[in-house]
Structure 1
Amino acid sequence: MIVMLNGSFAVGKTTAAELLVERLYHSMLYDPEVVGAGLAHIVRPIEGFSDFQDLTAWRELVIETARVLKRIYGRTLVVPMTLWHRPYFEEIVAGLRGLDPHLYHFCLTARKETLHKRLAQRQHEHTEQALTWIRERMERCLAAFEAPAFALQIPTDERTPSEIVELILTAIEQESGLIGAGR
């Protein structure tokens, strides 16, 4: 099984993903941002870009890394990533679904005010340049995630991370019956 947690920056994807790994039997966290950071370090001298998601190699590596992790470790992958650009989203979802037909996509949402507040609380984690980059993309994310392709949406404004994880687990269980009483 692969559980993809999508949503805007500062919506709580990584926190929810970490908690989900604790609750979901035989799972592991797979953050494609780590793949992007490594790839950026390698190709920056030869290719200009402002977002590693624009690199064809990144999208292919996200899928290939998931394939290797599934083959070697055989665990459920919990994948937090902000993937708002529809062609990239479709490419990665198709690739992940090809690896495991039990792909669950959840789009965590929040109001713009909530996102800005959360980002301000975490600003010590980012450089000013990174904060500017994130703020510039938040508007695009909010608009993009209104599309039906980004359902099942889970509003996070008034929910704790534990409540969000419980909603995700319940949705997976209702759709698949894969979790059952062993949760």
Structure 2
Amino acid sequence: MLLWINGPFGGGKTQTAHEIQRRLPGSVICDPEHPGFGLRRMLPPELRGDFQDLASWRQGVVEVLDLALTRHDGVVIAPMTVTDTGHFAETVGRLRELGHDVQHFTLLAERETVLRRLRERSPGHLMRLPGGKKSAPRRENWAVEQLDHCLERLREPEFAEHLWTDHSTVPKTADRIAVLAGLTLQPNTDGALRTRIRQAGVGLRHIRFD
């Protein structure tokens, strides 16, 4: 089974994916963003756009996830924002055509909720004293610029199933996905402090400055 976790940038996809992976033995995360940034870095700066527009990214993601789903004995989790219906058909749709059980979920939240999460996950809030209020990396600025488009597109029926997360914690969102996908997660026994520390670690490992 593939769990494709969609949603706006800053919507909680990565945190939710890691929460599921932590509590679902045998599951693995295969992040489609990794090859995307690799392809983007291959290009001269003036040619770097949205890597999802590259056919090589879409084809590569399908090839790699098809391999993982065929050879790995466990659930595969892919946290990735996809808002273009054509790109969605060439990735999620193509994997379904290949016969894989793809469970797709879109995490949604109100605009102000996502903006707050983007501020909290950005290293800029840790660097405001030495760097000033405008020290947020380009990645976060780009995410804010794309937010309204993402929220509008992802509310469309083709991107269901929709899960609203404004008043849900990451562990609770993971639980909801598991129930809908027919999976059983191990109980979440971590307290609030340990959860915050672990999520901060996940966030730090996924900071990008390009």
Task: Give the superposition deviation at 1:48.
Answer: 2.1
Aligned to 1:107: 106
Deviation at 1:45, TM superposition (A): 3.7
Corresponding residue SS for 1:41 = helix
Q: Which residue of 1 aligns with 2:16?
A: 16
Corresponding residue of 2:29: 29
Where does residue 175 of structure 2 map in the other structure?
Answer: 166
2:156 aligns to what? 147
* Alignment partners' CA distance in 1, 2:105 and 2:15: 14
Q: What is the CA–CA distance in structure 1 between the aligned matches of 2:81 and 2:184, rounded to whole Å?
A: 29
Structure 2: runs of 5 or more not aligned: 125-134, 188-210
Pairwise CA RMSD of aligned residues? 2.2
Q: Which range moves more in the overlay, 102-111 or 128-137?
A: 128-137
| Residue 93 of structure 1: aligned partner | 92
Cα distance in 2 for partners of 1:113, 1:46 equals 32
Instruction: Show the counterpart of 1:57.
Output: 56
1:181 deviates by 9.2
The answer on whether the counterparts of 1:2 and 1:100 sit within 8 Å (CA) in structure 2 is no
Match of 2:39 in 1: 39
Cα distance in 2 between the residues matched to 1:38 and 1:2: 23
Q: Which residue of 2 aligns with 1:176?
A: none
Q: Which has the higher contact order (CA 8 A, sep 6+)?
A: 1
If you compute each CA radius of gyration, which structure gives the higher value, 1 or 2?
Answer: 2
Aligned-residue sequence identity (percent) comes to 32
Aligned length: 177
Alignment of 1:3 onto 2:12: no
Superposition TM-score, scaled by structure 2 size: 0.77
**8 A Cα contact 2:178 2:184, kept in partner:** no
Distance 1:86 1:137 in 2: 16
How much has 1:22 moved relative to structure 2?
Answer: 1.9
Query: Post-superposition shift, 1:49?
Result: 3.5
- Offset at 1:4? 0.5
Q: Counterpart of 1:22 in structure 2: which amino acid?
A: R
Measure the CA separation in 2 of the matches of 1:38 and 1:72: 24
| SS class of match (1:16) | helix
**Cα distance in 2 for residues equivalent to 1:133 and 1:101:** 33
Distance 2:36 2:185 in 1: 37
Structure-1-length-normalised TM-score: 0.88
Indicate how the Cα distance of structure 1 residues 152 and 9 shifts in structure 2: closer, same or farther if over 3 A, else same.
same
Instruction: Give the Å deviation of 1:180.
Output: 5.9
Q: Does the aligned pair in 2 maintain the 1:108–1:156 contact within 8 Å?
A: yes
Q: 1:100 offset after TM fit, Å?
A: 4.3
State the SS of the aligned residue for 2:47.
coil
- Distance, in Å, in 2 between the alignment partners of 1:182 and 1:112 is 32
Q: Which residue of 1 aligns with 2:130?
A: none
Displacement after TM superposition at 1:72 (Å): 3.7
Q: Which runs of 5+ in 1 are unaligned?
A: 174-178
- CA distance in 2 between counterparts of 1:182 and 1:37 reads 33
| Deviant stretches of 4+, over 4 Å | 180-183
Q: Is contact 1:7-1:109 (8 Å) kept?
A: yes
Name the SS of the counterpart of 2:106 in structure 1: strand
Q: Which residue of 2 aligns with 1:131?
A: 140
**Which amino acid is the alignment partner of residue 74 of structure 1?**
D
